[in-house]
């Protein structure tokens, strides 16, 4: 997740992408660990990608040489990882050939926080490394829908160290009207139709710093990408996690960019 910050917006997407790729140090709170979750069985989420840079992010392998993540995540991709510290035999490490942000990404409003990373080589698909299916429809998950999000992010707001192992948490979709009211984000930023809110009405379950870019899975289907929340307030009822929703325009862009079918 990313904290709110006064970063300038650029009208030229080409200029923005060049600046964004060249300046990784500017995004000090750019990545979001799992609050109130549980450790997953090693390599049981074979689509998960670990993205290493100044900080950690997550992602999802959607084709042998393409990873879907948040627009502020980049640098190096590790597939087949469960542990951050151990060199596991299942791990495959890749340099990024091309980072491609969704053309309408706005770093101030967090709108369209989606990026595709083209890997320099194709991943070897096996038990620990598999692709995840991109949906053909953009059904908006209804409030109350049960979802999961996974990552290597921090597990406590007071401790700013990432989890050494992949963790996952069960969260629930929250109505946008609630997320935008005065007791929550209060339109700062606005939670739009391109985003979904998810967490727990009592708090304690959330994605957090280091989880950005990871897939939001609802009823077994990829529906969004971990985007942002309030820095140092992960898991609080007032600020549930916000996820970039995969709308029809995003799905069409993914298909056109990576080539071929997405199902």
Cβ neighbours of 197 (radius 10 Å): 24
Q: Are 197 and 223 in contact (CB under 8 A)?
A: no
Set 29, 113, 200, 206: catalytic member: 113
Cα-based angle 229, 117, 220 (whole degrees, multiple of 5) = 60
C-alpha neighbours within 13 Å on the C-beta side of residue 83: 6
* Sign, CA torsion 222/141/208/29: positive
Check if 212 is active-site: yes
Q: What is the rounded CA–CA span in Å between residue 142 and residue 88?
A: 39
- Per DSSP (E only), the strands in the chain are 38-39, 48-52, 56-63, 66-69, 76-79, 92-101, 115-119, 146-151, 167-174, 195-199, 215-218, 221-228, 241-245
Check if 20 is active-site: no
Check if 29 is active-site: no
Set 20, 30, 43, 72: catalytic member: 72
Nearest to 118 by CA among 90, 150, 94, 151: 94
Set 30, 101, 163, 212: catalytic member: 212
Nearest to 239 by CA among 248, 247, 231: 231
* Active site positions, annotated: 72, 113, 212
């Amino acid at each position: 997740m990313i904290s709110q910050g006064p970063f300038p917006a650029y009208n030229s997407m080409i200029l923005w992408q060049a600046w964004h790729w060249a300046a990784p140090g500017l995004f000090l709170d750019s990545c979001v660990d799992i609050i109130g979750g549980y450790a997953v069985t090693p390599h049981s989420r074979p689509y998960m990608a670990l993205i290493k840079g100044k900080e950690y992010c997550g992602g999802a392998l959607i084709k042998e040489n393409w990873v879907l993540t948040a627009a502020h995540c980049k640098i190096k991709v590790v597939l087949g990882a469960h542990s951050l510290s151990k060199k596991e035999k299942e791990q495959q490490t890749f340099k990024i050939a091309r980072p491609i942000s969704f053309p309408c990404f706005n770093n101030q409003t967090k709108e369209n926080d989606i990026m595709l990373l083209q890997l320099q080589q194709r991943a070897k698909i096996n038990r620990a490394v598999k692709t995840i299916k991109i949906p053909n429809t953009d059904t908006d998950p209804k409030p109350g829908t049960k979802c999961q999000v996974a990552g290597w992010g921090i597990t406590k707001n007071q401790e700013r160290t990432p989890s050494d192992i992949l963790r996952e948490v069960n969260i629930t979709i929250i109505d946008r009207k609630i997320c935008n009211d005065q007791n929550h984000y209060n339109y700062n930023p606005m939670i739009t139709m391109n985003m979904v809110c998810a967490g727990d009405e009592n708090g304690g379950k959330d994605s957090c710093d280091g989880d950005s870019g990871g897939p939001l899975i609802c009823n077994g289907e990829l529906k969004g990408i971990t985007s942002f929340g309030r820095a140092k307030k992960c898991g609080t009822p007032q600020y549930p996690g916000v996820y970039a929703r995969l709308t029809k325009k995003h799905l069409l862009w993914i298909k056109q960019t990576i080539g071929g079918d997405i199902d």
